[in-house]
């Protein structure tokens, strides 16, 4: 029986890398049926909305989606597509693993960090109002949302034999909001005595990440700090072009490449599809196709160590040549 997947090919380079993702899934002999929809800039131009109702209904039915980068039109007053989807489906976990790969240009060779970013509150609720000489933005941190993201991080560490969870905060200044997040972390860590638990103030954490990233294992953070450090950590392993991501709720998950839609290189056949392919591997893990996820990651890693890699990774291959090599390696495996 075919598994239905909601698929958004996105804007800019999105259609190109989505086509390559489908090729890889076909090579892995995955029996998927795609429900495809436009969202973002192209959807707005065609329908006057960023996320058509049919796309929302598809996610509700299928409970799983994967999306290429999208563009939110400037000056329209819309929230970003990503924020809308996270709030609409209560995707409270932003899951961002980052690991150095041989062959990817990087100053580091020892990074293996998984970040859990709270995805539904903090400043991203977008609640702003005017005061006499400016504006105020509300920062919302609740016990409920703090508890569920922190527990998710500890449970992941426990199930995946990770040794340490670090809480990121600014509780020295924001004593009530960030103080609640840190207090919740300190209470919950008592339930996991076999996992090292520590905390770092966000500014110090950023410095420590670029000076000694190997000290970090799992990180849990409120929305804003998580947004900042996940991109910083991606930079440690080669950039957003090799950074997968997942947004996970109680019964819905959306997997995505978090880099931009890069319209300036769209259609030139040179884009690096690694981030979306690795996000596809996260999706395979999520649905229980762990061995095929493993094969996909290994094929990507081996390809990056050859001449068949894209220019941004230090090679000269086209997008198609890069994925041809990945597909060939998959075909050489026993499925």
Backbone angles phi, psi at 51, to 5 degrees: -130, 100
User: Could you tell me which residues are beta bridge partners of residue 66?
Assistant: 7, 255
Per-residue HEC secondary structure of 147-202 comes to HHHHHHHHHHHHHCCCCEEEEEECCCCCCCHHHHHHHHHHHHHHHCCCCEEEEEEH
Q: Which of 109, 127, 198, 203 is catalytic?
A: 203
135 is catalytic: no
Residue 170 known to be catalytic: yes
Residues 205/229, Cβ–Cβ less than 8 Å: yes
Active site annotation includes 227: yes
Per the listing, tokens 């009530």 go with 176
In 3D, which of 95, 89, 93, 224 has the Cα closest to residue 148? 93
Q: Among 67, 139, 170, 325, which one carries the catalytic annotation? A: 170
Which of 178, 227, 292, 309 is labelled catalytic?
227
31 is catalytic: no
Strands 128-131 and 253-257: unpaired
Q: Which of 44, 92, 124, 225 is catalytic?
A: 124
- CB proximity list for 159: less than 8 A, separation 6 or greater: none
Just list the catalytic residues: 124, 170, 203, 227
């Amino acid at each position: 029986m075919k598994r239905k997947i909601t698929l958004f090919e996105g804007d800019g380079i999105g259609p190109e890398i989505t086509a390559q993702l489908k090729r890889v899934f076909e090579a892995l002999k995955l029996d998927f049926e795609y429900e495809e929809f436009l969202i973002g800039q192209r959807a707005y131009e065609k329908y006057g909305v960023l996320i058509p109702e049919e796309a929302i209904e598809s996610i509700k039915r299928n409970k799983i989606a994967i999306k290429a980068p999208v563009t939110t039109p400037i000056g329209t007053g819309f929230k970003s597509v990503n924020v809308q989807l996270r709030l609409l489906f209560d995707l409270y976990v932003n899951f961002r693993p980052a690991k150095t790969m041989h062959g990817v240009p990087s100053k580091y060779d020892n990074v293996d960090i998984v970040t859990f970013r709270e995805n539904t509150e903090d400043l991203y609720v977008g609640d702003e109002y005017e005061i006499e000489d400016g504006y105020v933005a509300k920062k919302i941190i609740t016990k409920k949302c703090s508890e569920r993201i922190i527990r998710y991080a500890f449970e992941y560490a426990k199930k995946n034999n990770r040794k340490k969870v670090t809480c990121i905060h600014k509780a020295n200044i924001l004593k009530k909001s960030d103080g609640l997040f840190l207090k919740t972390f300190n209470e919950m860590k008592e339930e996991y005595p076999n996992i090292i638990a520590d905390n770092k103030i966000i500014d110090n954490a950023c410095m420590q990440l670029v000076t000694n990233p190997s000290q970090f294992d799992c990180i849990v953070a409120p929305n804003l700090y998580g947004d900042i450090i996940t991109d910083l950590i991606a930079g440690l392993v080669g950039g957003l072009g090799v950074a997968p991501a997942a947004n996970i709720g109680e019964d819905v998950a959306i997997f995505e490449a978090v880099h931009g839609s890069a319209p300036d290189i769209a259609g030139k056949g040179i884009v690096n599809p690694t981030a979306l392919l690795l996000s596809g591997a996260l999706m395979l893990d999520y649905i229980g196709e762990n061995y095929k996820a493993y094969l996909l990651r290994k094929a990507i890693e081996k390809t990056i160590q050859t001449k068949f890699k894209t220019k941004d990774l230090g090679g000269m291959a086209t997008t198609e040549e890069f994925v041809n090599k990945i597909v060939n390696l998959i075909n050489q495996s026993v499925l």
